[in-house]
Structures are given as structure tokens and as C-alpha cells.
Structure 1
């Protein structure tokens, strides 16, 4: 099957671009978030393409006055992977690896136009490969980039410009992870009893700090790295280490959400520390991570739906709210430098047991 993408020099196999290998769980995804300097506005976007499921979906979600307003959209892809629009939500790649724009055209009372401009060249995270027995559970590559955000968001006719100093992060990932309907055939043998994930892209005045860790239920990390990246750094720039660790984490009672923590990054000049003070919870279900609008779910030719979540009354201990991004005030302490304050997210997903936190 030939599509518009075949007229561009982007092929990775001898087949047309419409065919992404043979694994039905292949996906190609955009993610964006952003937050105002005072934390009063927080927004996120997810956009996914699932070539073998022949589906694309997009989500836009913004917190204003204690309510998380969510817009979900899903369509049949018809194999056109270069059509970066699903209903009212679209992405424009203005300058690859540097500037992208998200547009929401009045979808169910929500509208936006936001431009994301990179602070440095994106980092390439270590390849994520995880098997359950012989079956590939995850195998993907991801780039991450901290960004400055400009534009506006409108909710039910009330438009607000993003204030100066609005920043955030974006990522692009592609490869294999569970998407669409769950596989009815269980993996044999079932060797994976839990999933632990932390991700912390942080924005400071003149630099970005990144940390992530995937770990086994006993706390053993199987994919982790920290990066300190000055503004304007080129590809491969900055300081990279796989020896960083998150310490001092205590969970909010009745939840699997951290109420704080300290990131410790060893360096040649001594320990670099980042203190986290979470103060706003963003529910990842609002952009398709779990729930009825899970990524890759078939909804029909084109379906658009709005959802509003009152965060004050949401049960933060419920299974659908395990996966969150906690907007956090962060303080960076580097040997020989004055402390810096900034903002960033503390993304957390703890499914199943995790012994270091006493979770059975």
C-alpha cells in the first residue's frame, strides 16, 4: 500500500512506509507538557499513531481552577502516517528537533495554539527493551527536549495567553509497547510482576535536568540515566550518568504518589542534588494513559469527546490514577554554585509490588 509518506526519503525497510515491521504493538508518539511560572496553568498533549491497528488518537488536557479539562479524539488512520491531525487536534513540525506547534480548533469548548521551542538539542534516552519470557513487552527509542512555550489556551470562551516564562518538556518515542486492546494470550512464563517508573524533566534558569528510572519490584534498575544539559547544548552535549538515584521518597497516604524526594547525581566535583516539592497533580488518564480512552483503542471513523475531572474530589488512590505527573518546585544544589530554583514534573507509575517503598 502506497501513501503520501512514500514520496519522502524516510524508509527504514524495503516495504512501503505504511508497514512498520510485523508487531501489532508498534506505535509512534508525540508528548508535550507545559506550565506557567506560578504553576497556575498546566497542560499536556499526547498524539499517537498505531500503523498495524490503523488508528491515530490525540489528547489535549489543561488544569484551570482545580479542574482538569480533557479533549479526546480518535480516528481510523487509513495508513496515512504523515497526516498529523485527529479531529480538532493537530501538530505542525515547524523545524524538526527544534520547534513544533500544537493547534486545537474549538473541540467541545476547548481551543489552543501553542508553540514549543527547544532549549537545547534533544537528548536520546537509552533504548528501552523489556521482555516477559520470550515476548517483547517494550522495545522503543525516545528523545526528550525541554522547551519554552508561547501561545494561548481557551476554555469555554475564556482565552488566556500563556504568560512569559512558560516552559515544559516534549518527547517523541517509537517502537513497541502495549497499545490498543489487551492481548488475550498471557505471556508464558509470567516473569514480570510489577512496573516501576519515574521521569523528571526539570527546567532551571540556564539549564535542564533529566532523570528517569525503570526498576524491578526489588528496586533493581533496568534502565536509568540522568542528564544535565546547558541551554544551547549540541547533540551529545551536557553531563550524562547512569549512577543517579532518587532518595528520601515517601508516599502520600492511601496513594502511590510521592510527596517529595531528593535526586542525587554523583559528579567529579561532588554530589549534585535536586529537592522535589510536588504541589499539583496531573492525571495521565486525561491524555490517554489508561481508562476508556487508552492509547490505540478503536472508537470509530472519527470520535471526539470532552471530559472534565474535578481534582479535589478525584480518588487519587484509584487504579486509574496511579499514573500521574506531579508539578514540582525544585531546587538544584551544585558544588561551587549558588542554589537554583526551578519547576518540573515528577512523573510516577508504580504498578504491582515495589519493595523499597513497602508496596506488596
Structure 2
């Protein structure tokens, strides 16, 4: 099948653009956004799996300690530029600068008309390549950007006023990433990893930190840099390295507080402190969700929702381990706001985790 974009000289294989260039069933292409201010945080996910012929998406919002989500999944449209599934639609108004997101699910208590506008240029994170045993677990490219949201959100008919706009992070990623039920072969050992991601807004700059570590603390992916706000504001300033020091909340695998030691190329070291304000469960966007997990076939179109009090969730249940915490940041005399994403699977000796799912003591 040919699509309009086949008229552009952008092909990477002999196949038309609507045809996936490889046969990996875990090939995916995802939009992901969050939006936040000190009293709320929301997230948006939209993903296509061309070799599974599936598209899915979700919108989730946390306010006053309660999280509400709507999920949609269906058959992928033959034209991959059709970025809609059920009540969830993503529009590319200006590539790498402006997106519009529509959520039209009043029967599930969620309606939104949001416009994302970039505040920075986009950055390409280091390629994420990981194996479980001899099997490819993840091979992905991710592009990150900071911005702001304008528009409106309604929760159970009550309008959430975004005022003059709230902070946003955008993540576009593609490649291959294993999901639940990702293979029918012999079982592998479960993945063991510490993943941290901290995109932070300050007044004039944004801070980016990403790390994947093995249980022994060795790093297999890392990125740390300062990104100036404003289009065409110059190349990001890389940091030499960042060390994490996390005070884990007792009985959980999430931070009670965190400090990042940022090492600059000139040898100077600064402390970036993170104070958690709220928790956003990533299962609200399908990550690790036992029903609405990514890339699962439900029907030609299936839509569902859920809501829960965050304090009622068992923190060590596998589907509740992956979180983003809304955090207040202090660094170099500046105050900022952002998120600290955390996934801790398996033992990690440095922090005293000894089994796959034990909590902090």
C-alpha cells in the first residue's frame, strides 16, 4: 500500500513506508507526553505495532491523590499517518514543535483538547540496546523535548483550568521493545534493571538525566545534559557524569527523596535535590498493566477505563513498580519542576535490595 509520504525521498528499505522494514513482532513507534504543575500530573501514550497490526493509546491524570485513566486498543489503520484509536487522537501540527491531543471519552469521565508547544529543540538520547540472555530485549531510539501545554481537561465533567499553560515533556521513540507475552519460546530469566529518568524544567534551561544499570551498579546506558530553552538556542551542554543517591521509602521501591550529583567537564560538582510531590502510576498508560499492557490484541476496537486512590495500591505489586514522581528540584540556586521516573526490578546491592521484589528497609 502506498501513502502520501511515499512521495518523499525518505525510504530506508525497498518497501513502501506503510510496510515495516523488519519482521520483529516487538517493533513499535510511540508518542509519549506528560504535563504537570505542582497540583496535578497527566500522561498520554499512543503507539503502533505494525507487525502485530495493533494500535493502542491511553490518557491518565492524577489529581488530589486519585488517578483516572482511559485506554483504547484496536486494529492498526493501513495508513500509519492515521494517528487515532477510538477516543484518542494525536495530531502533528508542526513536526518537532507542535502537537494537538484530543481525548473524547465523556462516558469514561475524561475529555481533553490540548496543544503541546515545544520550549526546546529536540535531543536524541543514546540508543538503548539490551539483551536478556541471548535474546534482544530492547533496541530503541528516543527523542526527548521539553514544552508546555495549553487547552483544557475535564474530569467527571469538572474542568481543570490549565491557566497560562503548564510544563510538558515529550518523548518519541521507536525500535523494538519487548512487552508481556513477547515470545512463545522457552522462558528467559526476568529482566533485572534500575532505570531512572529525570527531565526537569528550570526557568531558562532544562536538565536531562537517564540511566540504565545492572544489579551490580554497572551502567549500560547513560545521558546527562543541559538544554537551553528557546528554538535554535544552541547545542546542549553535556555533563561529564551524574551519580544518584536515593532514599527509598520503607516497604517500597520508590524514592522518598533523591539527590543527583552532577559532574561538569571542568571538574565542578553540584547537588540537584529532588523532593517528590505526587506519584503517577505508569500502568495508567499501559506500562505493565495486566489488562491494558502494550501491544495486546483486544478486539477491532476496545475502550476501557479505571480509577483508584493511589494510597490504596500495594506498592510492591509488579504492575505498580513503574512510576513517575512529580518532583520539585533545586540546583545551582534554581528552583524547578519535573519528574523522576523509576523502575527497579531485581536485586540491587548498593541500595540493599536482595531479591526480585523486596521493599526498602
TM-score range, shorter chain: over 0.9
User: Secondary structure in 2 aligned to 1:312?
Assistant: helix
Distance 2:282 2:309 in 1: 14
**Structure 2 equivalent of residue 246 of structure 1:** 244
Structure 1 runs (4+) deviating above 3 angstroms are 1-10, 233-236
User: Secondary structure in 2 aligned to 1:353?
Assistant: coil
Distance 1:121 1:137 in 2: 29
**Structure 1 equivalent of residue 359 of structure 2:** none
**Structure 1 equivalent of residue 321 of structure 2:** 322
Report the Cα offset of residue 205 of structure 1: 0.8
After TM superposition, the score normalised by the length of structure 1 is 0.92
**Structure 2 equivalent of residue 25 of structure 1:** 26
Q: After superposition, what is the alpha-carbon deviation per residue over 1:46-89, rounded to whole angstroms, capped at 9, x for unaligned? A: 11100000000010001123210100000100432111011111
**Structure 1 equivalent of residue 358 of structure 2:** none
1:58-73, aligned counterparts within 5 Å?
58-73=57-72
**Structure 1 equivalent of residue 155 of structure 2:** 155
Distance 1:209 1:186 in 2: 41
1:81 correspondence with 2:80: yes
Segments of structure 2 that go 5 or more residues without pairing to the other structure are: 355-361
Is this contact kept in 1: 2:92–2:100, CA < 8 A?
yes
Distance 1:309 1:8 in 2: 46
User: Cα RMSD between the aligned structures?
Assistant: 1.8
Q: Which one of 211, 214, 227 corresponds to residue 213 of structure 1?
A: 211
User: Secondary structure in 2 aligned to 1:275?
Assistant: strand
1:342 correspondence with 2:336: yes
1:351 correspondence with 2:345: yes
Q: After superposition, what is the alpha-carbon deviation per residue over 1:185-208, rounded to whole angstroms, capped at 9, x for unaligned? A: 1367x5x75121000000111110
Report the Cα offset of residue 180 of structure 1: 5.7
The alignment covers a number of residue pairs equal to: 350
Q: After superposition, what is the alpha-carbon deviation per residue over 1:322-351, rounded to whole angstroms, capped at 9, x for unaligned? A: 000000111012xxxxx0101110000011
1:285 correspondence with 2:286: no
Segments of structure 1 that go 5 or more residues without pairing to the other structure are: 334-338
Report the Cα offset of residue 234 of structure 1: 3.4
Is this contact kept in 1: 2:195–2:213, CA < 8 A?
yes
Distance 2:159 2:192 in 1: 42
Is this contact kept in 1: 2:278–2:327, CA < 8 A?
yes
CA change 1:206–1:236 in 2 (3 A) is: closer
Distance 2:96 2:342 in 1: 26
**Structure 2 equivalent of residue 336 of structure 1:** none
Q: After superposition, what is the alpha-carbon deviation per residue over 1:288-319, rounded to whole angstroms, capped at 9, x for unaligned? A: 00121011011100011111111121222221
User: Secondary structure in 2 aligned to 1:286?
Assistant: helix
CA change 1:176–1:193 in 2 (3 A) is: closer
